[in-house]
Amino acid sequence: MTARYTVLHETRYTYEAPVGISRQVLHLTPRGTPYQTLLAHQIRVAPVPDISRDMVDPFGNAVRSFCVERDHDSLEVVCESHVEVRAREYPALTGSPPWEAVRDGLSYKAGRTLSPDELTATEFLFESTRVRNKRELQAWAAPCFPSGAPLLVGVSGLMHRIHDELTFDPKATTVSTPVMDVWKARRGVCQDFAHLFLSCLRSLGLSARYVSGYLLTRPPPGKKRLIGADASHAWVSIHCPGYGWVDVDPTNATLVGEEHVTLGWGRDYDDVIPLRGVLLGGGQHELHVSVTVSPETSSSMGAEAGDPVRSMT
């Protein structure tokens, strides 16, 4: 199955006093992957930046940085992307290797040489700013990973436990709520669920990364609307030897499919914040963010699958 979407991500800041300088970094360009093709993309900024630069971060994500060096009382960033998303082929859960073998395969052993894929996986084994390796989380996740259990069977069990025992509550947390507070309160949003999932997996010695993206706003007839639509979404990708990376969405207790649009990935949310920066002046501000993921027909794009990205700037 293949689907094409238009993604519109609009961010607007309104300041109570003029801002003299604003420097911003954007992670708003959908990533090209074996299951996703970026067909066209544009980022519009008002006021027009004095300096703008495109680059790639250490995790391979596309990044746009810009600077506005004159007084302004508002900042608007509109990102429009056209993507093609293809259904993924997942391995049988019971056919995945034993989870202890996966853990031991990435643990440090003097003199052992790791493959490029294993080296990449080791980047996502350890604590990061928002992900903690804790004995309490290891013990909480352990019942999902009995001795000899296939890796993906354990991952599925932990995904369902997080989904069943935690409540989606946008008012329960903020962007800076620590993961241990989320675990104790059993409430949060997709970002919190992803960080808790990562903390549990890494506490067990498994490699997993944070994935930022979007969900289809209006699902096909007969399918329920997934939690997390109309905003930036987050899920988790687990390193599975012999297959690669397996993406799971703990907020919705599902494997990631063609209704998910991938922006990028990193160790946690801090590596892929959609828009972050610093400014001089401004005082208090109001923030408005709007996200819409809409299906489109292939004829509306004038591009075929596999075509290189068309710049719309």
What letter would DSSP give residue 131? -
Distance between CA atoms of 99 and 155, rounded to whole angstroms? 9
Tally of CB atoms within 10 A around 10: 15
For 196-248, the pLDDT digits (tens) are: 999 999 999 999 999 999 998 877 777 777 777 788 999 999 999 999 999 99
* Cβ pair 269, 191 in contact under 8 A: yes
Q: Which domain holds residue 23?
A: 2-86+272-304
Q: What is the pLDDT of residue 297?
A: 67
In a shared domain, residues 50 and 162: no
In a shared domain, residues 227 and 107: yes
In a shared domain, residues 42 and 112: no
74 torsion bin: left (phi>0), alpha (psi -120 to 50), beta (else): beta
Q: What is the pLDDT of residue 222?
A: 75
In a shared domain, residues 198 and 119: yes
* Cβ pair 9, 28 in contact under 8 A: yes
Q: What is the pLDDT of residue 313?
A: 35
311 inside domain: no
In a shared domain, residues 195 and 250: yes
For 161-207, the pLDDT digits (tens) are: 999 999 999 999 998 899 999 999 999 999 999 999 999 999 999 99
Give Cα separations from 85 to 1, 188, 210 (angstroms).
9, 28, 19
For 258-303, the pLDDT digits (tens) are: 999 999 999 999 999 999 999 998 888 899 999 999 998 643 333 3
What letter would DSSP give residue 150? B
In a shared domain, residues 198 and 292: no
In a shared domain, residues 73 and 123: no
Question: Confidence class of residue 114 from pLDDT cuts 50, 70 and 90?
Answer: confident
Distance between CA atoms of 305 and 66, rounded to whole angstroms? 31
In a shared domain, residues 38 and 125: no
Tokens 């970002």, residue located: 191
Distance between CA atoms of 126 and 132, rounded to whole angstroms? 8
Q: Position 123: which residue type?
A: E
Return all residues near 185 (Cβ < 8 A) that are at least 6 apart: 172, 173
